[in-house]
């Protein structure tokens, strides 16, 4: 067969896959106590969270759920293994102010208005306050009429809405939630779950939630990761395929209750 004498270029190598939003690789965390005693909180934990995914961590008290969150936030270092956020150390995202965090205690400045509490991250980052962004978030969390209210003038649920708006104000790439509604009464907590589901559907930010509430985890998450008792390891991962948006009708869904019952049974077994 005749040849043209023109060599063909080899096919281009495929582009490397983009890093996961969050990744824990073989993470073990030990804490030193008095008299040289060491407690292992987490052991050989592997976890990957994709971009725009909502993952909830469930497990008994003391299993290391909040420790996972603190390591992702750069507040703790793993004893062994590696924690990556957007392919790098958590500190890289923290320095760029692209990590949003909301804890059980809202930690609002008591002397500042709702508006000023939400605007605080702009000032901490040394940026001019984007008034339009703050106003947008007040509307998003349903507090457009309370911009001037101080925390003492707001209900517990309203204060947590301010805390979540503050966590979102700098358009974070990753949102970390540590029992954000744990201090609320059952009725308010349920209402706030639906509010968070609505807010997340609007923002679609990569989110890691720590919770003790199985219903809350199933309502909000794309995946629920169940940890064992201390030392915490990944026992089970549940894919939640329930349709979105998830509203109050979901509470009457048989599949929803089947998932809740299955995960509750896993937690009960782990407590025995």
The pair phi, psi for residue 271, each rounded to 5°, is: -85, -10
To the nearest whole number, what is the mean pLDDT of the chain? Answer: 87
Asked whether the predicted pLDDT for residue 5 surpasses 60, the reply is no
* pLDDT recorded at residue 114: 95
**Domain architecture of the chain: domains with CATH:** 20-98+212-272 (3.40.50.300)
Interval 183-212: pLDDT, tens: 788 888 888 888 888 888 888 899 999 998
Asked whether the predicted pLDDT for residue 76 surpasses 70, the reply is yes
Residue 254 has a CB neighbour count (10 Å cut-off) of 7
CA 27/CA 82 separation, integer angstroms: 6
**Vertex 65 angle, CA 63 and 69, to 5°:** 150
* pLDDT recorded at residue 217: 94
Interval 94-150: pLDDT, tens: 888 888 888 877 689 999 999 999 999 999 999 999 999 999 999 988 898 999 999
Asked whether the predicted pLDDT for residue 3 surpasses 80, the reply is no
């Amino acid at each position: 067969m005749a040849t043209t004498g023109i060599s063909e270029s080899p096919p281009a190598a495929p582009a490397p896959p983009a890093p996961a939003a969050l990744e824990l690789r073989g993470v073990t965390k030990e804490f030193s106590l008095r008299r040289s005693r060491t407690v292992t909180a987490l052991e050989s934990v592997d976890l990957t969270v994709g971009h725009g995914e909502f993952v909830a961590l469930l497990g008994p008290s003391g299993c290391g759920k909040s420790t996972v969150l603190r390591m992702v936030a750069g507040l703790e270092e793993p004893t062994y293994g590696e924690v990556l956020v957007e392919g790098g150390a958590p500190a890289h995202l923290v320095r760029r102010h692209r990590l949003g965090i909301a804890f059980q205690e809202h930690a609002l400045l008591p002397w500042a208005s709702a508006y000023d509490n939400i605007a605080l991250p702009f000032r901490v980052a040394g940026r001019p306050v984007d008034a339009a962004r703050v106003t947008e978030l007040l509307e998003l969390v349903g507090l457009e009429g309370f911009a001037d209210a101080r925390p003492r003038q707001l209900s517990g649920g309203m204060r947590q809405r301010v805390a979540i708006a503050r966590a979102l104000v700098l358009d974070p790439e990753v949102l970390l939630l540590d029992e954000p509604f744990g201090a609320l009464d059952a009725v308010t907590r349920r209402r706030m779950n639906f509010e968070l589901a609505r807010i997340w559907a609007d923002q679609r930010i990569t989110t890691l939630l720590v919770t003790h509430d199985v219903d809350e985890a199933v309502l909000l998450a794309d995946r629920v990761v169940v940890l064992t008792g201390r030392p915490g390891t990944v026992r089970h991962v549940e894919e939640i395929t329930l349709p979105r948006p998830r509203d109050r009708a979901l509470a009457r869904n048989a599949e929803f209750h089947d998932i809740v019952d299955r995960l509750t049974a896993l937690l009960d077994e782990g407590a025995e």
